[in-house]
Amino acid sequence: MAEEPPELFGPGFTADPYPAYAWLRRNEPVRWTVLPSGVPAWLVTRYADARRALADPRLSKDPQRHRAAEHASGRVGIPGERRANVTPHLLNIDPPDHTRLRRLVSQAFTPRRVAAFEPRVRELADRLVDGFAARGSADLIDEFAFPLPIYAICDMLGVPAEDQEDFRHWAGMMLHTSGRRGGVARAVKHMRAYLGELIHRKRDALGDDLISGLIRASDHGEHLSEEEAAAMAFILLFAGFETTVNLIGNGMLSLLRDPGQLARLRAAVAAGDEEFVALAAEELLRFDGPVELATWRFATEPLTLGGRRVAAGDPVLVVLAAAGRDPERFAAPDALDLGRTDNQHLGYGHGIHYCLGAPLARLEARTALRTLLVRLPDLRLAGDESQLRWRGGLIMRGLRALPVEFSPER
């Protein structure tokens, strides 16, 4: 009996898109789809096709390569990025510009540099739990997963402590309005204006933070314009924020729904088994990661993808969430198995745009898991699971709130 095609992006899909993705993988692994914005694109759902597409140089990141670039303007990419003048960022450019700009920041994100940041992330995580531990209940998104990456990335960039609340406010605007492009665009505008001003201010007092590093690079003839420096600071914030919020949020939800796996992780944390905690963080990312679809790509020439003809200028969206559940690649893909070792998921992307912040993301994820499980030993979901609501939006997947209960800390 022929299966019915799924309703993509409709009611029910956001809460659990995985059955629809399974249908696509089986029946139409590369499918031409009109998105809710009205813009059509190819959706790629099989692991092998996804991995190939992510590293294919014929798929450009430059929105000008879209065959309907003018028509789709404002409906493709980060909302408001053109008006806020942050378009020349890493996720919108190809080599050689991409190679040059990425080289400038990559040394800030080596595992060694990021490891030096670990005490600070631990301290932040503990301070956030201090804020609610005595209460016996919390919203893990609003009180933990949301502020942790904002403060972490602000510290790295060198945003002064007195300005970080402004950032928290704009980031909140971004998060609470996601799914509505206008709200995100307003937050993007505020952040860009602030970053331009901060770059200006820092010129007189350079420190050892990332923004100072970018200014030095632009002053030392490394061909980094001020506009590029601001776009870089912006993309680090933008790419490093909601992703981490949702990695912690989705990850904790997966654990709280699966007491057996939660107990396994608790035991590993108690035994100081860091290797297991690291494996668990990868599995949570594969199982229900924050980046549902990789960012936009555009064919620069006609090509074949999963047996379909893709025309020059066609947009291509790689569905990371679908690739992560492909039974051709992962054993029992719909099961959460925190000890999974054969786990080369695509949750951080693949190829030259592979997540620059992955070492920081991993550090934040491990620290969050450890802190929450150590400090809140009988953590559980509060209320009815059917009340959980997911935010809309094409690229990211995450909860609006994650209410939990636990024995109050004395």
Query: Which residues does 256 contact at the CB level (< 8 Å), separation at least 6?
Result: 262, 379, 380, 381, 404
Nearer to ligand HEM, 369 or 382 (CB): 369
Which window, 135-143, 254-262, 352-360, 372-380, contacts ligand HEM (CB under 6 A)? 352-360
Nearer to ligand HEM, 23 or 249 (CB): 249
DSSP structural state of residue 291: B
Residue 220: count of CB within 10 angstroms of its CB: 9
Closest separation in Å from C-beta 70 to ligand HEM = 22
Chain center to CA of 74: 21
**CA atoms within 13 Å, Cβ hemisphere of 244:** 32
| Number of residues assigned to the chain | 410
Q: Which residues of 86-101 are buried (b: 16+ CB within 10 A; e: fewer)?
A: bbbbbbbbbeeebeeb
Print the binding letters for residues 217-246 with ligand HEM: x by CB under 6 A, - otherwise.
------------------xx--xx--xx--
Does residue 247 bind ligand HEM (CB under 6 A)? yes
Print the binding letters for residues 79-108 with ligand HEM: x by CB under 6 A, - otherwise.
-----------xx----------x------
Cross-strand bridge partners of residue 137 = 405
Print the binding letters for residues 111-150 with ligand HEM: x by CB under 6 A, - otherwise.
----------------------------------------
Applying CB under 6 A, among 251, 357, 393, 398 the residue interacting with ligand HEM is 357
Distances (CA, A) of 319 to 72, 85, 244: 20, 28, 18
Print the binding letters for residues 45-74 with ligand HEM: x by CB under 6 A, - otherwise.
---------x--------------------
Does residue 290 bind ligand HEM (CB under 6 A)? yes
State the number of binding residues for ligand HEM (CB under 6 A): 27
Closest separation in Å from C-beta 401 to ligand HEM = 19
Chain center to CA of 81: 17
Does residue 315 bind ligand HEM (CB under 6 A)? no
Place of tokens 């009205």: 38
Q: Which long-range contacts (CB under 8 A, 24 or more apart) does 169-174 make?
A: 170/194, 171/146, 171/241, 172/146, 174/241, 174/242
Q: Which of residues 359-398 bind ligand HEM (CB under 6 A)?
A: 360-361
**CA atoms within 13 Å, Cβ hemisphere of 1:** 2
Does residue 291 bind ligand HEM (CB under 6 A)? yes
Distances (CA, A) of 350 to 52, 294, 295, 330: 9, 10, 12, 17
Which window, 11-19, 79-87, 127-135, 342-350, contacts ligand HEM (CB under 6 A)? 342-350
Binding region for ligand HEM (CB under 6 A): 54, 90-91, 102, 153, 235-236, 239-240, 243-244, 247, 285, 289-291, 294-295, 347-349, 353, 355-357, 360-361
